[in-house]
Amino acid sequence: MRIEALANHRSWIPDLAGGQFEHWGRLTGFDTLEKYTAALEGWSAGRDVPTVLVATDSGELLGSGRTGPPDQK
């Protein structure tokens, strides 16, 4: 297993955002999947903290986590 930046796997963002939003919904702090996906794209861009990290194994996404302040927006 490896821990890597989501920025290295940007093609996973739509699926990752969809699964997280389906599970957590409005607890993400966003009222639509589109807004949450855009936020996840921004967080993973590597420009600013927070950074989104993913756990991978043989190129397969296992899970994700985010570093930074608890405020999502």
CA distance 40 to 17: 7
- Residue in 65, 47, 48 with CA at minimum distance from that of residue 56: 65
**DSSP annotation of 44:** T
The encoded tokens of residue 5 equal: 């930046």
Indicate the Cα dihedral angle 9, 15, 20, 22, nearest 10°. 170
Q: What is the pLDDT of residue 2?
A: 94
Q: What is the pLDDT of residue 67?
A: 82
> How do the domains of the chain map onto residue ranges?
2-66
- Between CA 17 and CA 34, with CA 53 as vertex, the angle to 5 degrees is 20
Q: What is the pLDDT of residues 15-71, one digit of tens each?
A: 999 999 999 988 989 999 999 999 999 888 866 555 789 999 998 999 999 886 655
